[in-house]
Structure 1
Amino acid sequence: MKIKGIVFFFLITLSISHAQSVSISNIYNREYTSLNGQWNYIVDPYENGFYNYRYEPFENQEIPERSAFFTNSKPTSKSDLIEYDFDKMDSITVPSDWNTQKEKLYYYEGSVWYKKSFDYTKKEHSNRVFIYFEASNYKTDVYLNGKKIGQHLGGFTPFNFEVTHLLKEKENFLITKVDNKREKDAVPTLNTDWWNYGGITRDVKIIETSETFISDYFIHLDKENSKKITGYLSLNGTHIIGQEVTVEIPALKIKKRFKTDANGKINIDITASKIKLWSTKNPQVYKVIFTTATDTTTDEIGFRTIATKGADILLNGKKIFLKGISIHEESPITGGRGNSLADSKQLLEWAQELGCNYVRLAHYPHNEHMLRLADKMGILVWEENPVYWTISWDNESTYDNAKNQLSEVIQRDKNRASVIIWSMANETPTTDARNTFLTRLAKYTKEQDPTRLISAALEQSNYEGNPLVRTIHDPFAEVVDILSFNQYIGWYDGTIEKCQTISWNIQYNKPVLISEFGAGAKFGLHGPKEERWNEEYQEYLYEETLKMIDKIDQLSGFSPWILVDFRSPRRLLPEIQDEYNRKGLISEKGEKKKAFYTLQKYYNNKN
């Protein structure tokens, strides 16, 4: 069944070495065929379906043995030995994680094979076809009809592979091996403070395009002229040179034609004197139509500028204070990895109820519904690359992995007005290797998107050895546009009363965001405000922390940790944590704690 796409995304084809070869921006209004639903699966902790007994990959064989799961082999006689059968195995829902679907897989880390059978007939013989995954955690090997079509690393960004020449009209079988094992050289690395959900966690789709199609575009306000729209558009295919491209914005009565150059690209330059700028109070988006002889794509785009001047953040040239909250991608509806429009809507509506005009999406790229809704709701967004805690800073393949994941989220979301900050990392220790790693990422990000701000969640330290005066002492602070840091005075650092004794001396003339602060509390647990884990303690910490950080001269906003309690295997305290990080202002069941209303009051009184 063909259905209309309701989410924007871009397609990025990766070879085994993860090199980008083709992308398709904005399938929001393109047709797609959904492969969501029930898939058969095989749990394979020893990876018997991938390696033979000598631990040699089956896919390296010229003719893979039928023991390889990706061949989807069946016995040809009663004496034939085949030790698996996808069609007789249990089924699992895609998209979703396996941990919360199957009790036996709750703690499982390893390989699970998925299989989906389908028929497909192209609309036109010359059209091209892609298999697209919105996300799959973490290492995903993909096979169609027994042939390897690619591998992707990273659990939170989209990827696709072209399958035009492998696709059949009947009885296709798509098989993936998804491996969520944590690894030292991966991104993120071995140690995190969130649940390592495994599986195909976001939508899987078949995309059909014309032979030559609109593959990418980036359209935005000129940084120096808010009445000028600029950007680029690229075609992919065999007929890309000298093609006419029309860019139309009906509400502004704009319709302009361009010709592609030798690289199939146009540079967009349009005067838009009557444009209304996107803002948190008026999230104006415009229908933009891109048309060629063989392809049309439509997007909804808001136009705004974001910049800094000294210690101020400027949205459309006007100072703005970022009233924020941090969010993990857990479903408030099902309790597992969030992926649906309803999940995103509930989280962002809670943020707005709290009084937020800004959210920090931690600690990895969230599903695209979040960004699309933020555009429409007028919520500013911090997006973060999963460079978390202690990465293998000296490993070049680790850097390439981080760069690739960052590239994929920039490609997907670069046309979203809500996104104002690309974050390079969270709570990383200061070393020469780390500084080089992050500086390279920041330089690359500015090359890909010079229109947005760069930051990272850093750590605070004592000023000139004085434990009562705090500062930021980090060479990467010189690189970022916004100085952000996490601080937990009153939780990991002393008691709440310590907030009354701390002052701040920050030497940078840059905007300051407190990217995290908070305290754990179990909903419904009450007692003295000096006693940890009850709601009164969390409320008291918020009261004292807000007084403390209000004294920071450069303060331009903050995003406390966190909106909703979330699963973490690090949080083991029985009857309190029970494998949940309890720093949420809302419980995992949707119950609001007392500190929710403390922060809400602060935000409602803040201009």
Structure 2
Amino acid sequence: MFRKIILTLVVFAGFCLRGSAQETIQHVYGRTVLSLNGPWNYIMDPYQMGYLDYRQKPFDQSKSGKGGFYDNLTGVDKSTKTEYDFTYAPTLEVPGDWNSQEEKLLFYEGTLWYKKDFVMNPDAGKRYFLYFGAVNYECHVYLNGKKLGVHKGGFTPFQFDVSGKLNPGKNFVVLMTDNTRKRDEIPTINTDWWNYGGITRDVMIVEMPQTYIEDYKVQLAKGSKDIIEGFVRLQGTEKSGKVTLEIPELKIKSSYTTDEDGKVSFSIKTRKMDYWSPEHPKLYDVIVTSTDDKVEDKIGFRTIATRHQDILLNDKPIFLKGISVHDENPILGGRLRSEGDMRMMLEWAKELGCNYIRLAHYTHNETMLRLADEVGLLVWAEIPVYWTISWTNPETYANAENQLTVGIDRDKNRASIIVWSVGNETPVTEERNVFMGHLVDKARSLDNTRLIAAALEVEREGYTIKVEDPLGDKLDLASFNEYGGWYWSEPKELPKYTFDIRFDKPVVISEFGAGALGGFHGDEDTVWSEEHQELVYINQLEMLDKMEALRGMTPWILTDFRSPRRQHPVYQDFWNRKGLISNTGKKKKAFYILQQYYKNKTAGKQR
């Protein structure tokens, strides 16, 4: 019976993905766009009265398709009855979550409507797309009162073709957004981060020619340091046509003809190049042109592999000196909204001595990945398969696989990404093993050049910490979370522990840590003090350094972040205090312990 359930899950998931996965334009920031960022009017709608009639039937599925807030009725005559008007509604800044912008929305989970007016004069010879970097979680999108579609997933980009649907002059976009947590969604009901709602990333109208460069991949071939391979795909009215790939600095200029589906693959042997690394984050100008379109990108080339217990970057052993990072500004509150916010986080990581960051627990902003390329930080990228998921629900699997697919598709040209992670702290059951195993297989089918991992859990037996999750057989890293000194054992006991790891693979500790309220001091045994967090780090590092296979770590976490699970009124106040930097930007004492450790750490074991 179980095999039948799983077979149904996989087959149905494949069907769902074929029907729902949306292609998005590669490197949208390199195209001609009209930004729709800025103030948007909003209406809070906990009963969804702007979407459902009193019989709970959607207005947009009625015969007239009218009656919802998406009609954007305004300036009506005195005989027309309406119970909303965006004209007089308050505004929220986009990109930005609603929770951090308006006090009454801090804990709000439910439906909220957005409306944006804009003016443009579309060219009949062009194609246009309405692009969203991310909206949390489910959103229904309407242009000039007509429904474009629905998207689920709070951290992945999506777009709608609006060619022929734009008015010359005045237009408006309305979104119904809903961040309600649901058991069968990704992530599920229970998380340890704030459920920030709304339009959290950029919104833009993208202008393209009738036939345009939809996608491309330009990367080193698996196992090669001198063969660049990839593909270019055209979309539009004339899919079969000439495309040219140029990398001027490497004196590459090659032309190809796409097939009837608009795609051509290529493989180019190149001259000696400068390889991308944290010490030398070299990016090359890459230009892709077609008859009617042109896109320019900056791409780095590097190799990543494992050999027994070593991680090899450009064929050389490396120790991953990392830290975990949430997509949240601890000082201003809410999601990272600007390049400045993101640079702040990356600069803190560099100051800590990092060459590596774990972007937890979901797909982060595309700009964050491009900045990581620029400043030289390796990246672990993850999807929000977190804790306990509906393992046997085919729609849940389809959602997870879709988010994995979209994330890999968007960021496949980023040299900084070396790890695709398929989840975090998922409990071992047969159903979970199959679900997660299929995600691993999917990731490998999409990208065979990067490492595949997950943040596993551990078991303890006396002073032995066991790592024996069967999913580890399918992964490239023995990567796991452990919270010795905080959730189990005493900090001073940690050096007594040893590790029993069943996998002959590089060990990367994906999480450890302890909470501390910035500025609160006591002796080392006083929980919540900076001194206690410092003690945990000192003893954790002593314990971990005994492992022969230790090749990296991303302690939890760079900065304090909001979480509704953390309620102590004195020490937490709805903040997870495991950050090495407080929500006021102050570095805690443990920051300097890890900084010194990284300063002395090189590839391999240190005694």
Instruction: Give TM class, smaller chain.
Output: over 0.9
Distance (Å, rounded) in 1 between the aligned partners of 2:204 and 2:75: 30
Counterpart of 2:47, as a letter, is: Y
Residue number in structure 2 paired with 1:60: 61
Distance (Å, rounded) in 1 between the aligned partners of 2:148 and 2:412: 27
Residue number in structure 2 paired with 1:415: 413
- Give the superposition deviation at 1:18: 6.3
Q: 2:345 aligns with which of 344, 347, 350?
A: 347
Q: Does 1:291 align with 2:286?
A: no
Residue number in structure 2 paired with 1:569: 564
Counterpart of 2:120, as a letter, is: Y
**Secondary structure of 1:595's partner?**
helix
Distance (Å, rounded) in 2 between the aligned partners of 1:454 and 1:113: 38
Distance (Å, rounded) in 1 between the aligned partners of 2:36 and 2:360: 28
Counterpart of 2:91, as a letter, is: S
- Give the superposition deviation at 1:76: 4.8
Residue number in structure 2 paired with 1:591: 586
Distance (Å, rounded) in 1 between the aligned partners of 2:140 and 2:150: 4
Distance (Å, rounded) in 2 between the aligned partners of 1:152 and 1:97: 17
Q: 1:306 aligns with which of 293, 304, 307?
A: 304
**Secondary structure of 1:492's partner?**
coil
Q: Which moved more, 1:221-230 or 1:193-202?
A: 221-230
Counterpart of 2:514, as a letter, is: A
Counterpart of 1:305, as a letter, is: T
Write the deviation string for residues 19-41 of structure 1: whole angstroms up to 9, x where unpaired.
23543111232221010111111
Equivalent residues of 2:222, 2:448 under 8 A apart? no
Q: Does 1:259 align with 2:254?
A: no
Counterpart of 1:229, as a letter, is: I
Residue number in structure 2 paired with 1:328: 326
Residue number in structure 2 paired with 1:41: 42
**Secondary structure of 1:297's partner?**
strand
- Give the superposition deviation at 1:146: 1.1
- Give the superposition deviation at 1:74: 4.0
Distance (Å, rounded) in 2 between the aligned partners of 1:192 and 1:29: 35
Equivalent residues of 2:17, 2:398 under 8 A apart? no
Distance (Å, rounded) in 1 between the aligned partners of 2:28 and 2:109: 32
- Give the superposition deviation at 1:498: 2.1
**Secondary structure of 2:556's partner?**
coil
**Secondary structure of 1:485's partner?**
strand
Residue number in structure 2 paired with 1:218: 217
- Give the superposition deviation at 1:500: 2.1
Write the deviation string for residues 401-444 of structure 1: whole angstroms up to 9, x where unpaired.
11111111111111000000000000000011111111111111
Write the deviation string for residues 513-571 of structure 1: whole angstroms up to 9, x where unpaired.
10000000111111110111101111111010001011112111000000000000111
Tell me the C-alpha RMSD between the 2 structures: 1.5
1:164-563 equivalent positions in 2, closer than 5 A: 164-241=163-240, 243-462=241-460, 466-563=461-558
Distance (Å, rounded) in 2 between the aligned partners of 1:306 and 1:224: 9
- Give the superposition deviation at 1:78: 1.8
**Secondary structure of 1:148's partner?**
strand
Counterpart of 2:325, as a letter, is: I
Write the deviation string for residues 254-277 of structure 1: whole angstroms up to 9, x where unpaired.
111111122211112112122111
Counterpart of 1:467, as a letter, is: G
Write the deviation string for residues 118-157 of structure 1: whole angstroms up to 9, x where unpaired.
12112x4221100000011100110001111011111111
- Give the superposition deviation at 1:450: 1.0
Distance (Å, rounded) in 2 between the aligned partners of 1:518 and 1:23: 37
Distance (Å, rounded) in 1 between the aligned partners of 2:272 and 2:159: 39
Equivalent residues of 1:385, 1:425 under 8 A apart? yes
Counterpart of 2:159, as a letter, is: N
Write the deviation string for residues 492-525 of structure 1: whole angstroms up to 9, x where unpaired.
0021122022111112111111000000011111
Write the deviation string for residues 67-119 of structure 1: whole angstroms up to 9, x where unpaired.
x1111124754222111111121111111111111111111000000001112
**Secondary structure of 2:594's partner?**
helix
Write the deviation string for residues 381-414 of structure 1: whole angstroms up to 9, x where unpaired.
0001000000111111001111111111111111
Residue number in structure 2 paired with 1:148: 147
Distance (Å, rounded) in 2 between the aligned partners of 1:225 and 1:594: 43
Identity, in percent, stands at 52
Equivalent residues of 1:75, 1:82 under 8 A apart? no
Counterpart of 1:532, as a letter, is: V
Give aligned pairs, total: 588
Equivalent residues of 1:27, 1:297 under 8 A apart? no
Residue number in structure 1 paired with 2:7: none
- Give the superposition deviation at 1:16: 11
Residue number in structure 1 paired with 2:100: 100
Distance (Å, rounded) in 2 between the aligned partners of 1:65 and 1:368: 36
Distance (Å, rounded) in 2 between the aligned partners of 1:204 and 1:369: 14
Equivalent residues of 2:276, 2:283 under 8 A apart? yes
Q: Which moved more, 1:415-424 or 1:363-372?
A: 363-372
Equivalent residues of 1:332, 1:346 under 8 A apart? no
Unaligned segments of structure 1, at least 5 residues: 1-14
Distance (Å, rounded) in 1 between the aligned partners of 2:19 and 2:110: 21
Distance (Å, rounded) in 2 between the aligned partners of 1:332 and 1:544: 27
Residue number in structure 2 paired with 1:6: none
Distance (Å, rounded) in 1 between the aligned partners of 2:559 and 2:499: 29
Distance (Å, rounded) in 1 between the aligned partners of 2:78 and 2:114: 26
**Secondary structure of 1:55's partner?**
coil
Distance (Å, rounded) in 2 between the aligned partners of 1:156 and 1:109: 17
Q: Does 1:86 align with 2:86?
A: yes
Counterpart of 1:20, as a letter, is: A
Counterpart of 1:100, as a letter, is: S
Distance (Å, rounded) in 2 between the aligned partners of 1:206 and 1:16: 25
- Give the superposition deviation at 1:64: 2.3
**Secondary structure of 1:435's partner?**
helix
- Give the superposition deviation at 1:333: 4.6
The change in CA–CA distance for 1:322 and 1:260 in structure 2 (over 3 A counts) is: same
- Give the superposition deviation at 1:224: 2.9
Equivalent residues of 2:96, 2:334 under 8 A apart? yes
- Give the superposition deviation at 1:65: 3.4
Distance (Å, rounded) in 1 between the aligned partners of 2:371 and 2:557: 20
- Give the superposition deviation at 1:574: 1.4
Distance (Å, rounded) in 1 between the aligned partners of 2:19 and 2:528: 45
Residue number in structure 1 paired with 2:13: none
Unaligned segments of structure 2, at least 5 residues: 1-15, 603-607
Distance (Å, rounded) in 1 between the aligned partners of 2:599 and 2:290: 48
- Give the superposition deviation at 1:170: 2.0
Distance (Å, rounded) in 2 between the aligned partners of 1:112 and 1:547: 49
Equivalent residues of 2:138, 2:178 under 8 A apart? yes
**Structure with more helix by fraction:** 2
Distance (Å, rounded) in 1 between the aligned partners of 2:385 and 2:350: 28
Distance (Å, rounded) in 1 between the aligned partners of 2:590 and 2:581: 9
- Give the superposition deviation at 1:219: 1.1
- Give the superposition deviation at 1:339: 2.4
Distance (Å, rounded) in 2 between the aligned partners of 1:403 and 1:37: 32
Residue number in structure 1 paired with 2:9: none
Residue number in structure 2 paired with 1:9: none
Equivalent residues of 2:391, 2:397 under 8 A apart? yes
Equivalent residues of 1:16, 1:152 under 8 A apart? no
Distance (Å, rounded) in 2 between the aligned partners of 1:412 and 1:372: 11
Equivalent residues of 1:240, 1:263 under 8 A apart? yes
Equivalent residues of 2:74, 2:87 under 8 A apart? no
Distance (Å, rounded) in 2 between the aligned partners of 1:143 and 1:469: 57
Distance (Å, rounded) in 1 between the aligned partners of 2:139 and 2:19: 12
Equivalent residues of 1:180, 1:198 under 8 A apart? yes
Distance (Å, rounded) in 2 between the aligned partners of 1:76 and 1:116: 19
